[in-house]
Structure 1
Amino acid sequence: MKKILAFTMAAAMAAGLAACGSSASTSPSAGGSGSAPAVSDEPIKISMYYADNPTLPYMDSWLAVQETAKIAGVDLTVEAIPSTDYNTKVSLALNTGENCPDVILYQDTKGENSSLALNGAIVPISDYPEWTPNFNAMVEKLGLKDDVEELALKDGKRYFMPQLFDQPFYDGGLIMRQDYLEEKGFDAPKTFDDLYEILKAYKADHPDSYPLTTLVAPYVTYRMTMPSFGISFGKSSSSGTGALSYDYEKGEYFEGCISEEAREYLRFMNKLYAEGLLDPEMAAPIDGDVWSTKMATGAAMATYAYYDQIGGVETASEIDGFKLQMYPSLEGPAGAHHQPKSKTGKGIMFPASTAERDDFEQVVRAVDEMFFSEECSTIWCLGVEGTTYTMDGDKIVYSDDLTSSPDGIYKTMQVKYGCGADPFQFVWINEREMSKYDENYAQINKTVAGMEDGNVIQPLPPTPLFDDLTAEDAASLQTPLADSIEVWIDAFVTGSKSLDTDWDAYVAEMKNLQIEEFCKMYNDNLRK
C-alpha cells in the first residue's frame, strides 16, 4: 500500500510540475544531433538563478560575466538570491513550477533534488553529451571521469554539471588576531581547548567584546568545525540531509544530529555562548560590513571565514599593529578536520521547462561554453589578459590595481571583476588559484596537506542510489527533520534548552520524525 500511495503521490507531483515543464524525456532525443546549432547574429536569451553572498554582492557589470557571456553569445538575465534563502527558492521553483529560470547554479542532487530529478523536474544532462563538449574535455583533462560518473542517480543519469577541482584546497577556516596572540605569548591554536583559552583571555581584557563571531551565518562555523568532532549536520551539512553524518571508517551513515558526538559539540558551543565568548548576533545572518566592523574594531578577535577576507578587514582597522592570520583546522575528539570537499562541487541544473524551448540545444551549448571552455574558465579565474594580468613566459603577472590593492589580489578580483565568485566559477586548478594568493596562504595549504596524512579535508559523503519512490520518501522525511534540528541547535547553543534535561526530549522528537528510518534508507541504498 505504501508503494501504491507513493506512486500516486509521484504522479500527482509530476502533474503539478507541468507549469515548469514536462519530464525531460519529452525533450530532443538523448545525445542530440551531434552537430553544433546554427549560428545566430542575436545572443541567446538565458535566465539564471545565482546564490548571492552578502560579502560578494553580484553585479551585472562584472568583467568576467560580461566577457564570458559575449564569447558564448548569451544575453544573460541573473536573479541574485541571498545565499541564506537560495535552497528554499530553488525548491519552491522546482516543486511548484512557478517562475522557473532556464538555468539554476550551485546545486547538486543530494536530498530533495534527487527526488525532483527522478520525478522529471530536472533535465538529465548526461543524456546530451554531444551538447557539452567543453565540459567533457575538462573532465578528461583533470582526470575526473570516475568522480563525475559517481554523481549519477539510481537511473544511471546525471542531472547537473558539477564544479571541477583538480584538488581540494583549504580556502577558509579559523581566522584570529595574530597580534593579540603575540602580545599575550600564546602559541598558534592547535585544539579547541587552545581556542577556548585564547577567547577567554581576550574576553577578560575586553569585557564588552564577544571574541568569536562568524561570517554570514552560524552554519559557516558549524560546517568548518563539526568534522573535528566526527559529525556534520544542520544547514549546509556535508551529507546534504541536515540530519545525518557519515562515518568514514565504517563507510556508513549514522544519526549524527542525535549522537553523543553532537552532544559534545553542542556542549562546547554552549560553553562559549554562556561565557560571553560567542557572538549572540550570529544566530541571524550577519551582513558582511557588520562582520568586518566587528573584527576591525576588536568587538571580536576570531572568526570562521575565508582567507580572502583578511586584507579588507586589516585595511579597515585603526588598531595599531592589527594583524590577522588563518590557522589550520583545530583538533577535536575525532581529529583535525575541515569542511569535507570533493573534486566535484555544486553545479549547473536545467529545469525541465528549459527542455521545452525550441532552442534547448543552443542553451546547453552556450552554457557549456560560458563556464567550461578553456577560454571562459580562464576568465572566471584570472580575468582578461591585458586587463587584469599579462603573461611573462609561463608566469602570470597581475595588473598594478590588483597587486597594490590592500584587499589582496584574490578578493579584489572577486569584488571588482567577478573572478573567483564561487557560484560562477566551475573550473578550479590549484596552481592557478594559488597565483592569486600570497606566500603565507600557500604555506598554510602546505601545512594542512601534511597533517594527518593529508586527511584534514575529507571527501564528501557518497550519494545514495535512490529510485524515484524512495527518493520521494526520503525527501518527505528530510524537510521536517532539518527544520526541527535548526530550532534545537539554536536552543542548545543559547541555553534555552538544556543538554542535560532536554536532550532525551530532542532525541525522542527526532525518532518520532523517523530519523532512524531515514538513516536506514541512506545506508540501504549506498553504491556497492
Structure 2
Amino acid sequence: MNKVRKRKMTAALCLAVSISVFTGCSSESTPKSTAQTGTAAPTKEAPYNMSIMMKSFYNDSITAESKIWKKTEEVTNTKLDVLFTPDANYADKLNVTLASGSLPSVIFVTGNLVKMPSIVNAVKGGAFWEIGPYLKDYPNLKQMNPIILNNTSYNGKTYGLYTARPIGRYGVSYRKDWLTNLGMSEPKTVDDFYNMLKAFKEKDPDKNGKNDTYGMVVSKYAGPWDVMQNWFGVPNKWGLDMDGKLLPAQLTPEYMYALKFFKKLYDEQLVNADFPVYDSAKWNDPIINGKAGVAVDVVGRSYQIQEAMQAAKVPGEIDLFGTVKGPKGEFNLATTGYGGVFMISKSAVKTEADLKKVLNFFDKTNDKDMQLLITNGLEGTHYKVEDGKLVTLLTPEMPQAPDINIKSFNQLLLGVPNVLDTAFKAGTPLREKALDVQTANEKNVVPNPGEPLLSATYTQKGAQLDQLLEDARVKFIVGKIDEAGFMAEMEQWKKNGGTDYIKEMNEAYAESQKK
C-alpha cells in the first residue's frame, strides 16, 4: 500500500469516528445495542423491598413461588414480603405489632379498627405517612372517592389507602313469588313496605293453607334497623341541627318515629321475636325454608338466597329493591365505603422517594389486568370465560400447586377503579340487578358527617357508648321500656361520656370547616 493511499484511509477513519461521536450526542439518533456502541446499556432500578402485613383466610396462602406473586413483583418492580395474619386474631396481632414499634412497610387496618385507640395514637404520634397530597399523581389512586377518603381520614387528613366497598350497598331482598301470589306490587313507600310484611304474615303468601309465615327475618346484627331508620330521615350516626352543629342520630325526633315503627312490626309479629339473639349466620334460613319473606341487608344477600334455594331445589323467586320513600323523602344509608385501609409506616419507609415506590405499587396493582389476575388468577388455569361470563376452574377449596397458588392475595387490592363488577357478564339476572341497584342507590345515599372526626372520649369509651345505645333500642322495640324509658337511657348515655363525646365531635367539626 503506498503512503498516499494510507493517509487517505486514515483520514476517512478519523472523520467516521468524529461523525459517530457527534451523532451519538444527538437526541434524534437511533439507540444502538451494546455491541454496536461499545457502551453499557442503562441498568434497571433494583426492585424495592416492601413488607406488608395483611389478613389471611387460609392456612396455605400464596407464597413467593406463585406465578401470580412473581408477576405482581415484576409489574411493580418490588420484592415482596407479605406477612399473612389469620383473620381470627388479626386485631391482637395488629396491636402487638404497633406496640413493638417495629412496623413493616405497610400494615392493613380493618374498617372496624381504623379508629381504635392504638391506631389513633399512632397517627397522632407521626407513625404513618400522610398521603393525601400525593394521590393526584397516580392514574388509579387519583380516582379514589372523596366521600370515602373523607370517611377514612383523621380530622380531614388521609393516612391510608382504602379497600373499596360499594357506598350504596344496602337494599331489600324479598320473595317476589309471594308478592305475586298476593296480587301486590313492589313497595314504593314505608307504608307499602309495612303492608307487604303484614300480608306475608296474615294472607298465606305461599298458598299452603297454613298460618306459618311472617314478614321479615332480623338477627342480632343491628344493621337492618340502621338501614330502615334512615328511611324516616334519621341521620347516618350524626346529623346537623338547626344551628349547624352535630347531633347524634338517636337524639333527633326522627329516631323516635322509626323506633315506634319497629315496635309496631315486633308487636304485630311481623319480625321474628328472637331477633336479639338470633344467629346472623342463619339469617337466610327462614327465607330459604319458606317461613319469612324479607331480609334488609346488602344487595348481594338477594342472589345468595336465590342460589341457595336453587341448590336445595326449593321453589320460589327472590327479587330486590334499594329503598322506599319515607316521610321526608327517599334515602339510602351510605356505607363507609371501605373494608379497611393500608397505612404506610414512616419508620420502615423512610424517604419520600420510597413512599412514592409504595404508592406506585398500589397504583400498578389496580390496573385492570392486574386486578383480574390478583382476583381471579390465571385464565385457563383458575378460570375461563364462556359467553362473556367468568367460569371458575379452581376454587379456593381445591388443592393448588405452589406456582399457581392465589389464596389470600386478593386482600391487597384496593379496587380503585372498580373494574371487577363489569369485567365479565353477571352470572344471573339477579346478580346483574344487584349491581344496578347499588349504582342507583348512590344518588340518594346519606353519608355520616362525623365519620372522619376524632374524639378522645369515643376512642376510650366508644364500645360502651355504642352498646348502651343498641341495648336501649332493642329494649324499646321489644317493649321493656317506653319512650320515657328510652330518654332516660339516653341521659345515662350522656353521663357515661356522651356529653363529652358530642362536645369533642363539634369542636373537631368546627375546626374541619375552617379548612
Aligned match of 1:283: 276
Match of 1:306 among 293, 298, 302: 298
Q: Is the 8 A contact 1:45 1:76 kept in 2?
A: yes
1:520 aligns with 2:508: no
Aligned match of 2:24: none
Cα 1:493–1:136 change in 2 (3 A) is farther
Q: Is the 8 A contact 1:139 1:164 kept in 2?
A: no
Aligned match of 1:218: 221
Q: Is the 8 A contact 1:121 1:351 kept in 2?
A: no
CA deviations on 1:208-239 (whole Å, 9 max, x unpaired) are: 44531247x5233134223222235xxxxx5x
CA deviations on 1:164-193 (whole Å, 9 max, x unpaired) are: 58xx56444100000000001111012232
Q: Is the 8 A contact 2:140 2:416 kept in 1?
A: no
Helix, strand or coil: the match of 1:218?
A: coil
Shift of 1:487: 2.1
Cα 1:189–1:503 change in 2 (3 A) is same
Gaps of 5+ in 2: 1-42, 74-78, 205-209, 396-404
CA deviations on 1:90-138 (whole Å, 9 max, x unpaired) are: 8855886699886224338557577324433852352995xx99x9331
Aligned match of 2:389: 398
Distance in 2, Cα, partners of 1:136 & 1:176? 42
1:457 aligns with 2:462: no
Aligned match of 2:85: 79
Q: Is the 8 A contact 1:48 1:104 kept in 2?
A: yes
CA deviations on 1:376-406 (whole Å, 9 max, x unpaired) are: 33335665444566789xxx9234459xx9x
Cα 1:95–1:163 change in 2 (3 A) is closer
Aligned match of 2:262: 269
Match of 2:415 among 418, 427, 431: 427
Aligned match of 1:39: 47
Cα 1:383–1:118 change in 2 (3 A) is same
Distance in 2, Cα, partners of 1:326 & 1:199? 15
Greater shift after overlay, 143-152 or 177-186? 143-152
Q: Which amino acid aligns with 2:298?
A: Y
1:180 aligns with 2:182: no
Greater shift after overlay, 197-206 or 109-118? 109-118
Shift of 1:197: 1.9
Cα 1:523–1:390 change in 2 (3 A) is same
Distance in 1, Cα, partners of 2:200 & 2:270? 9
Q: Is the 8 A contact 1:228 1:338 kept in 2?
A: yes
Q: Is the 8 A contact 1:172 1:306 kept in 2?
A: yes
Shift of 1:326: 0.9
Match of 1:104 among 101, 108, 112: 108
Helix, strand or coil: the match of 1:455?
A: helix
Cα 1:342–1:305 change in 2 (3 A) is closer
Match of 1:119 among 124, 130, 148: 124
Helix, strand or coil: the match of 1:461?
A: coil
Aligned match of 1:490: 474
Cα 1:372–1:447 change in 2 (3 A) is closer
Distance in 1, Cα, partners of 2:97 & 2:239? 28
Distance in 2, Cα, partners of 1:484 & 1:270? 18
Aligned match of 1:500: 483
Q: Is the 8 A contact 1:245 1:255 kept in 2?
A: yes
State the identity as a percent. 18
Shift of 1:522: 1.9
Greater shift after overlay, 322-331 or 104-113? 104-113
Greater shift after overlay, 438-447 or 424-433? 438-447
Match of 2:343 among 349, 353, 358: 349
Q: Is the 8 A contact 2:303 2:431 kept in 1?
A: no
Cα 1:441–1:521 change in 2 (3 A) is same
1:379 aligns with 2:379: no
Helix, strand or coil: the match of 1:301?
A: strand
Aligned match of 1:228: 231
Aligned match of 2:201: 203
Q: Which amino acid aligns with 2:160?
A: F
Shift of 1:256: 1.4
Aligned match of 1:326: 320
Shift of 1:296: 1.0
Distance in 1, Cα, partners of 2:84 & 2:380? 27
Greater shift after overlay, 145-154 or 193-202? 145-154
Larger Rg computed on CA atoms: 2
CA deviations on 1:397-451 (whole Å, 9 max, x unpaired) are: 234459xx9xxxxxxxxxx987997x65422445651445355565566577668
Distance in 1, Cα, partners of 2:278 & 2:425? 29
Aligned match of 2:252: 259
Aligned match of 2:36: none
CA deviations on 1:466-523 (whole Å, 9 max, x unpaired) are: 5xxxx43452353432231122222222323x23341231121122124244223222
Q: Which amino acid aligns with 2:196?
A: I
Q: Is the 8 A contact 1:179 1:323 kept in 2?
A: yes
Match of 1:340 among 334, 341, 356: 334
Q: Which amino acid aligns with 1:511?
A: K
Helix, strand or coil: the match of 1:304?
A: strand
Aligned match of 1:241: none
Aligned match of 2:286: 294
Distance in 1, Cα, partners of 2:421 & 2:127? 32
CA deviations on 1:335-378 (whole Å, 9 max, x unpaired) are: 2222214777742235788669xxx9799469636854554333
Greater shift after overlay, 307-316 or 295-304? 307-316
Distance in 1, Cα, partners of 2:463 & 2:131? 28
Q: Which amino acid aligns with 1:483?
A: Q
Distance in 2, Cα, partners of 1:36 & 1:282? 61
Q: Is the 8 A contact 1:328 1:448 kept in 2?
A: yes
Q: Is the 8 A contact 2:218 2:295 kept in 1?
A: yes
Cα 1:417–1:213 change in 2 (3 A) is farther
Distance in 2, Cα, partners of 1:361 & 1:477? 34
Shift of 1:161: 1.0
1:245 aligns with 2:238: yes
Shift of 1:254: 0.8
Match of 1:190 among 185, 188, 191: 188
Shift of 1:295: 1.9
Q: Which amino acid aligns with 1:427?
A: G
Q: Is the 8 A contact 1:263 1:499 kept in 2?
A: no
Q: Which amino acid aligns with 2:293?
A: M
Helix, strand or coil: the match of 1:229?
A: coil
Q: Is the 8 A contact 2:175 2:318 kept in 1?
A: yes
Helix, strand or coil: the match of 2:444?
A: coil
Shift of 1:279: 2.9
Task: Give the count of matched residue pairs.
Answer: 437
Q: Which amino acid aligns with 2:459?
A: A
Shift of 1:148: 4.4
Helix, strand or coil: the match of 2:483?
A: coil
- What is the Cα-based RMSD across aligned positions, in Å? 4.7
Cα 1:44–1:345 change in 2 (3 A) is closer
